Amino acid sequence: MRVLLVDDQALFREALATLLSVRDDIEVVGEAGNGSDAVRRAADLAPDVVLMDLRMPVLDGVAATRRLRAEHPAVRVIALTTFDDDEDVFAALRAGAVGYLLKDVSSARLVEAILAAARDESVLQPSVAAKVVARLVASFGDKPAVSAQLPVDDAPPPVVPLSERELDVLRLLAGGRSNREIARVLHLAEGTVKNHVTNVLGKLGARDRTQAALRARDLGLL
């Protein structure tokens, strides 16, 4: 996996590059000290995954993530930051980041996140995942998570956008396919499909596959 490191602290970038260099399946192809440089370097280096700090000069990580997702949709961005306040978390996720980790994450967890992001899977710090769930609960209040009669305009959108792979799984899920059948169609491991289904249900605020399909139709995702 080709990885681009983006952080305004050179020492942190160097440490991260050294940490990842021991992996045979990860190649650090470049570094950037701000968001603007990250967008420019991504065009030249074509990374699979970008580890993106959020608070940087010139262009911050949220704006850089938004530009990367618009200009290079195949690139997967993981926010790697010191902060997990609500404003940073949801701004980064809405900008298109597929993951959100804090800088005190273990090296094993970071590597796992990079590989997962390259597979188009979402990876969230536990504290961040709790915020997402809380926001989902608040968005629905005491109402049922999904209603077959819910007008599209009244259906609150997912707090975290679904990835392309999650949309693929959702379409097959809505067609009544089992995890094994979805795995066969998408050429994935059944365990990977199960993880995708769990992510889809969480992002849509659905209790089961039927509710996920109904809510997806309400939102125009199918």
- Look up the CATH number of the domain holding residue 186: 1.10.10.10
pLDDT tens for each residue of 178-203? 889 999 999 999 888 888 888 888 78
- Sign (positive/negative) of CA torsion 109, 114, 115, 119? positive
Query: In sequence order, what are the beta bridge partners of 5?
Result: 31, 51
| Lookup: tokens for 126 | 């536990």
- The per-residue pLDDT for 137 is 55
Do 96 and 162 belong together in one domain?
Answer: no
Q: Has this prediction a pTM greater than 0.75?
A: no
Host H or E run for residue 55 = none
Q: 136 lies in a domain?
A: no
Q: 182 lies in a domain?
A: yes
- pLDDT surpassing 90 at residue 162: no
Which of 128, 159, 187 lies at the terminal end of a domain, its last residue? 128
How many separate domains does the chain show? 2
Q: Which of 18-22, 142-146, 163-167 has the highest mean pLDDT?
A: 18-22
- Mean pLDDT computed over 91-106: 90
Which of 70, 98, 128 lies at the terminal end of a domain, its last residue? 128
Q: Which domain holds residue 190?
A: 143-218
Find all residues with CB under 8 Å of 151, minimum gap 6, and list them.
218
Range list of H helices, the chain: 10-21, 35-45, 61-71, 86-95, 107-118, 126-140, 164-174, 179-186, 190-204, 209-218
Selected residue with higher pLDDT from 117 and 29: 29
Taking the C-alpha atoms of residue 126 and residue 144, their distance in angstroms, rounded to an integer, is: 25
Do 112 and 175 belong together in one domain?
Answer: no
Which of 70, 95, 128 lies at the terminal end of a domain, its last residue? 128
Taking the C-alpha atoms of residue 197 and residue 193, their distance in angstroms, rounded to an integer, is: 6
Write the DSSP assignment of 65-100 as a string of letters.
HHHHHHH-TT-EEEEEES---HHHHHHHHHHT-SEE
pLDDT tens for each residue of 127-148? 777 676 666 555 555 444 443 3
First and final C-alpha spacing in the chain? 31
Do 123 and 206 belong together in one domain?
Answer: no
Going from the C-alpha of 95 to that of each of 24, 129, 136, 161, the distances in angstroms are 30, 17, 18, 9
Do 109 and 165 belong together in one domain?
Answer: no
Q: 47 lies in a domain?
A: yes
pLDDT band at 55 (very low <50, low <70, confident <90, very high): very high
Which CATH number does the domain housing residue 54 bear?
Answer: 3.40.50.2300
Least confident of 57-61, 156-160, 162-166, 170-174: 156-160
- The per-residue pLDDT for 134 is 65
